[in-house]
Amino acid sequence: MSSQTRFPWMPRTLVLLTCVAAALAATGEARAAGYAGNRCVADKMAAMGNYCRGALKARTARTEARRDAYLSRAVTRFDARWNAAELRAGYANADCTDTTPSGPVMQGRVDTAVDALLAEINGGLDPENNLSHRHCSGGLARAAGNYCKQLLRYDGLFIKDLERDPDGTRLDQRQSLVRAQFASRWGRFASCPTLASEAGVAGQLEALSSQTVTDSTISPNVPSDVFMAVTHPTAGQSGHQIRYERKTLTPQCQDSSAYSFFAKRGTENKLLVYYVGGGACWDNLTCGTNQCTQNIGYSLAGQPDLFGGGFGDLSNPANPFRDWHIVVVPYCSCDVHWGDAAVDYTGLFPDKHVEHRGYDNARLVEKWIREHFLTPTDVFVTGTSAGAYGATLHGVFLSQAYPTASVNMLADAGNGVITQEFLEENFGNWGVEPNLPRIPGILGVPLSEQSIPKMFEAAAEEFPNTNWAHYTTAFDGGGGGQTGFYNIMLNPDDVFSWFDWWNASCQFNDVMRQQATETVAQTAGTNNYRYYIASGSRHGGFGLDRAYDDTTGGVPTLVSWVNEMIDDGPGWTNVEASPFNVLFSGTCSAGSDNPGDACHFDTDCPNGSCQGEDPNAGSLVPPFEASGADVVISCTP
């Protein structure tokens, strides 16, 4: 039976549109009207707007009995709408119970505001004894109630579907319209002897709406003084699998243990998301030799490890992130936060089962973020080492999730220097292909042709109002550094050569610099990619205090460069130290014969050790050589 036969009243055009919409929904291409958590908050704000109007109406009723009846009805409707919003969100696999204070708390705040408004409106009036004054009081209160309802409704509609109005133009237009309507209604009572002014009452209502938005979009239950740990149930427990964005996620560490992450609320409505590093593994040899962090390894109370120095030092007044909301995404999946597969690796070492669930873990965190910090003005996505790749991939998803925010993504020590052999034979072991972003430049590209430069180019093109960047030292060394893993990829079957990571230093530098300059060229149209190449071989910069004072090779400090990135300032330029091959010295340990002296090798510190130096071979072997008092990497044949 055709739709026209079943529904003879339905116009053919409407039938066609309905069929097209159904087809799009079936293929998953129809755009949902906002995230379910946002829709929940929008419904709650609409409930608060209706309650605000109802509470004002109740307080101006002529009799006490009528006041009680009106107020009881307003409370009942508010409770029903509030609870229904949370239930609908739950059915859609979103949780908005923790996004806002409880219904009674929010209702109480409206009551307090309504009492203050009515007291101001009644200033100069005697509505109990003067019929004309009662008319004035009721009329002005109704005008205020309508304004309150519309303000909260339109703020909610903006939150409901951020993608529909990313720059807030429609919200501004709607607010201007209801402001004009309020002014018109207030003007009808110009002869009333109230001491209240239109501007004063409007200001109170707008302050109530603004505070309600804050209360409804920044979870009050996330602590502001310490990091809270959020632990997901382990396999077999209720709630272990979770639905998010039409996918079933299975968050866990590589050894099937529980996954945890950390969060802290800031005093500014800006969000920092930091992805922790820890190596990677992709076959029996790399997984068998533990080339990656195997479990969370953090205390579940207080500040997470690896987040205390550099930009992680929240006591430093020069730290641009010190007052932001912060979410730390730990790493324990051995797949650079990209994986979605369970693999049994066999070979030379004992068989090993690995749950590569980094993608699932990170998306779990993203879901939680969206249900606790709905509308940050700024989002800075970053991570170090393996975390840099997590920031790269999930920076795309966060850019989609926060279209109204100023989004910046900085990959710290993760430039994507890999071999074609690794890309073709090992990268797919993590199960990444089905979960790559569905954006032009990535969608439909074979896995063997993917690369970090292509990811950056695609993201920069898809999100032209966002910024994308790489930070690295020129030679990024050590066994866990970029050169170290590149050396493993160059010698996949020679485990003993893996220890001599420095042999890949010059080749890494060549490929890294070539990729950076090519990415700049490929993003020239959007002009929203930059690189920063510092001197030496230190792995990562986010957690180092040198971020505040290192200018070696004529570079700006990393903190100033990051500030320029956030502000879209003229100082956010491509940076490369010159010279870039000078290694940073360390200091001799307290137990040595010369404590505190500058050093590069342990042999510089008799009866002690050299601490804090840039990674090196431990002696002057190629490509390391002396240059006066410095040690440098020389790539000259």
Which CATH number goes with the domain that contains 553? 3.40.50.1820
pLDDT at 73: 95
pLDDT, tens digit, for every residue of 540-594?
Answer: 999 999 999 999 999 999 999 999 999 999 999 999 999 999 999 999 999 999 9
pLDDT band at 296 (very low <50, low <70, confident <90, very high): confident
Whole-number Å distance between alpha carbons of 315 and 487: 38
Q: What is the DSSP letter of 563?
A: H
Asked if residue 538 and residue 423 are part of one domain, the reply reads yes
SS3 state of residue 430: helix
- For the record, the structure tokens of 551 come out as 């200018």
Asked if residue 622 and residue 601 are part of one domain, the reply reads yes
Asked if residue 268 and residue 393 are part of one domain, the reply reads yes
Asked if residue 483 and residue 339 are part of one domain, the reply reads yes
Strand partners, 576: 533
Please check whether residue 581 lies inside any domain of the structure: no
pLDDT, tens digit, for every residue of 477-502?
Answer: 999 999 999 999 999 999 999 999 99
Whole-number Å distance between alpha carbons of 459 and 529: 10
> Which residues, including other chains, have CB under 8 Å from residue 30's CB and lie 6 or more apart?
21, 24
Rounded alpha-carbon distances, angstroms, from residue 154 to 51, 141, 178, 402: 15, 20, 10, 19
Whole-number Å distance between alpha carbons of 548 and 568: 19
Using the structure block, give the residue that is written with the tokens 């560490």.
Answer: 253
Asked if residue 538 and residue 408 are part of one domain, the reply reads yes
Asked if residue 346 and residue 259 are part of one domain, the reply reads yes
- For the record, the structure tokens of 335 come out as 């797949």
> For residues 31 and 62, which has the higher predicted lDDT (pLDDT)?
62
Share of the chain above pLDDT 90, in %: 88
Q: Please say whether the beta carbons of 532 and 470 come within 8 A.
A: yes
Q: Which of 190, 217, 244 is the last residue of a domain?
A: 217
pTM, 2 dp? 0.92
Which phi and psi angles does 308 have, rounded to 5°? -135, -15
Does residue 9 surpass a pLDDT of 70?
no
Strand partners, 383: 275, 411
Terminal-residue alpha carbon distance, the chain: 79
pLDDT at 11: 42
**For residue 396, which of 452, 356, 345 has the smallest C-alpha distance?**
452
Domain count, the chain: 4
Strand partners, 497: none
How high is the mean pLDDT of the chain? Answer: 92
Whole-number Å distance between alpha carbons of 500 and 508: 14
- For the record, the structure tokens of 358 come out as 């980094």
Q: Please say whether the beta carbons of 523 and 462 come within 8 A.
A: no
Please check whether residue 368 lies inside any domain of the structure: yes
pLDDT at 88: 97
pLDDT band at 304 (very low <50, low <70, confident <90, very high): low
Q: Which of 217, 242, 257 is the last residue of a domain?
A: 217
Please check whether residue 223 lies inside any domain of the structure: no
Asked if residue 550 and residue 600 are part of one domain, the reply reads no
Q: Please say whether the beta carbons of 153 and 212 come within 8 A.
A: no
Burial of 440 (0-12, 13-18, 19+ CB in 10 A): exposed
Q: Which of 173, 197, 217 is the last residue of a domain?
A: 217
Does residue 246 surpass a pLDDT of 70?
yes
Distance of CA 228 to the CA centre of its chain: 17
103-121 vs 64-91: helix axis angle to the nearest 10?
140
**For residue 270, which of 465, 163, 175, 404 has the smallest C-alpha distance?**
404
Asked if residue 113 and residue 19 are part of one domain, the reply reads no
Please check whether residue 222 lies inside any domain of the structure: no
CB-side neighbour CA atoms (13 Å) of 315? 4
Which phi and psi angles does 569 have, rounded to 5°? -85, 165
Asked if residue 397 and residue 268 are part of one domain, the reply reads yes
pLDDT band at 305 (very low <50, low <70, confident <90, very high): low
Asked if residue 210 and residue 122 are part of one domain, the reply reads yes
Whole-number Å distance between alpha carbons of 154 and 156: 5
Please check whether residue 333 lies inside any domain of the structure: yes
Asked if residue 279 and residue 397 are part of one domain, the reply reads yes
Q: What type of residue is 555?
A: V
Whole-number Å distance between alpha carbons of 601 and 615: 10
Q: Please say whether the beta carbons of 415 and 482 come within 8 A.
A: yes
Whole-number Å distance between alpha carbons of 275 and 596: 33
**For residue 583, which of 539, 549, 532 has the smallest C-alpha distance?**
539
pLDDT at 377: 97
pLDDT band at 98 (very low <50, low <70, confident <90, very high): very high
DSSP sequence for 4-34: HHH-TTS-HHHHHHHHHHHHHHHHT-SPPSS
Element spanning 264, H or E: strand 260-264
Residue 609: which domain range? 586-633
Asked if residue 196 and residue 286 are part of one domain, the reply reads no
> For residues 26 and 542, which has the higher predicted lDDT (pLDDT)?
542
Does residue 31 surpass a pLDDT of 70?
no
pLDDT at 294: 86
Residue 490 falls in which region: left (phi positive, over 0), alpha (psi -120 to 50) or beta: alpha
Whole-number Å distance between alpha carbons of 104 and 568: 42
pLDDT at 282: 97
Report angle CA 426, 429, 430 to the nearest 5 degrees. 120
Whole-number Å distance between alpha carbons of 52 and 108: 11
Please check whether residue 58 lies inside any domain of the structure: yes
CB-side neighbour CA atoms (13 Å) of 500? 12
Whole-number Å distance between alpha carbons of 105 and 78: 12
Q: Please say whether the beta carbons of 120 and 200 come within 8 A.
A: yes
